């Protein structure tokens, strides 16, 4: 599995010959809008953790370009289904075998309204199990004890955790989350996009390293392999 970072919580996953976009927020992100052309993105699926604008802004445009199926909670899936997009609704604790792997929609502690205030269901994260490794994408969340449930079912090889603080966990709680999920290889997300969530990169990496963990902070468009 190849994981490419596009800023905030936007990711591209390449799993075999399938392309998955997660939480596309590119045209509205000053850090990525000049570096990534959403018209170049390939997508068979678009996974949305919750309805906030910094996670769904470019979902419609990419779905229109690609015909991708939007996978999210019931309310978000229905929101896009009503607009004519292909959707797959899920809800917390449920898993589904897609043609790229098994996806579980797991708990996140956050909120999930659409930009116009419409109810966007409850926020979540995704645990994705594939032949090429397993990834946990936490979405926007506080540190929760529920994270301890994840390794009871799935050995996580890479976890994408928010580290920007203020709206989500910060670095210190993300280190505890890494303990809870029993995964020491963390890709940081949800930082630097706005003033509220700017972080000290070196300090964040040092704090993870002091606990024997690796914090990856990728450039926009940079990739890691699982
Ligand atoms: Ni959010
Ligand atoms: Mn967010």
Model pLDDT for residues 97-156, shown as the tens digit of each residue: 999 999 999 999 999 999 999 999 999 999 999 999 999 999 999 999 999 999 999 999
- Give me ligand 2 centre to Cα 23, in Å: 9
Give the three-class secondary structure for 73: strand
Closest CA to 125 of 51, 71, 50, 26: 50
Which ligand does the CA of 113 lie closest to? 1
- Give me ligand 2 centre to Cα 173, in Å: 17
Q: What per-residue confidence (pLDDT) applies to 125?
A: 98
Burial class (CB in 10 A: 0-12, 13-18, 19+), 157: middle
Give the three-class secondary structure for 138: coil
In what side-by-side order are the strands of the sheet with 69-73? 87-90, 69-73, 45-47, 18-22, 11-15, 2-5, 223-225
For residues 102 and 71, give the distance between their C-alpha atoms in angstroms, rounded to a whole number: 12
Radius of gyration of the chain (CA): 16
Q: Say which residue the tokens 């990856």 belong to.
A: 216
- Give me ligand 1 centre to Cα 209, in Å: 27
Q: What per-residue confidence (pLDDT) applies to 31?
A: 98
- Give me ligand 1 centre to Cα 50, in Å: 7
Can you tell me the mean pLDDT for 17-44? 98
- Give me ligand 2 centre to Cα 113, in Å: 11
Q: Are 213 and 186 in contact (CB under 8 A)?
A: yes
- Give me ligand 1 centre to Cα 25, in Å: 12
Per-residue pLDDT tens for 163-179?
A: 999 999 999 999 999 99
For residues 225 and 203, give the distance between their C-alpha atoms in angstroms, rounded to a whole number: 24
Q: How confident is the model at residue 201 (pLDDT cuts 50, 70, 90)?
A: very high
| Buried-state track 69-89, b at ≥16 Cβ within 10 A, e below 16 | bbbbbbbbbebbeeeebebeb
Q: Are 174 and 147 in contact (CB under 8 A)?
A: no
Q: What per-residue confidence (pLDDT) applies to 195?
A: 94
- Give me ligand 2 centre to Cα 204, in Å: 19
Closest CA to 11 of 222, 226, 165, 155: 222
Q: How confident is the model at residue 189 (pLDDT cuts 50, 70, 90)?
A: very high
Which ligand does the CA of 50 lie closest to? 1
Q: Are 150 and 161 in contact (CB under 8 A)?
A: no
Per-residue pLDDT tens for 50-62?
A: 999 999 999 999 9
Which ligand does the CA of 193 lie closest to? 2
Q: In the CATH scheme, what is the code of domain 2-219?
A: 3.60.15.10
- Give me ligand 2 centre to Cα 189, in Å: 10
Mean pLDDT of the chain: 98
Which ligand does the CA of 123 lie closest to? 1
- Give me ligand 2 centre to Cα 55, in Å: 6
Domain residue spans of the chain: 2-219
**pTM here?**
0.98
Q: What per-residue confidence (pLDDT) applies to 163?
A: 98
């Amino acid at each position: 599995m190849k994981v490419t970072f596009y800023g905030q919580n936007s990711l591209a996953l390449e799993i075999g010959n399938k392309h998955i976009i997660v939480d596309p927020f590119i045209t509205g992100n000053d850090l990525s809008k000049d570096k990534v052309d959403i018209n170049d993105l390939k997508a068979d699926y678009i996974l949305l953790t919750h309805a906030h604008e910094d996670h769904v802004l470019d979902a419609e445009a990419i779905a229109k370009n690609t015909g991708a199926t939007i996978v999210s909670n019931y309310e978000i899936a229905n929101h896009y289904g009503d607009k004519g997009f292909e959707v797959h609704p899920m809800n917390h604790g449920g898993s589904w075998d897609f043609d790229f792997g098994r996806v579980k929609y797991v708990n996140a502690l956050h909120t999930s309204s659409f930009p116009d205030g419409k109810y966007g269901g409850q926020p979540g994260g995704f645990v994705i199990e594939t032949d090429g490794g397993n990834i946990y994408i936490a979405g926007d969340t506080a540190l929760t004890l529920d994270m301890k449930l994840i390794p009871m079912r799935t050995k996580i090889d890479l976890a994408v955790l928010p580290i920007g603080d203020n709206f989500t966990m910060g670095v210190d709680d993300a280190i505890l989350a890494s303990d809870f999920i029993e995964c020491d290889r963390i890709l940081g997300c949800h930082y630097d996009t706005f003033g509220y969530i700017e972080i000290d990169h070196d300090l964040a990496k040092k704090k993870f390293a002091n606990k024997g963990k690796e914090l990856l902070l990728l450039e926009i468009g940079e990739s890691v392999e699982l």
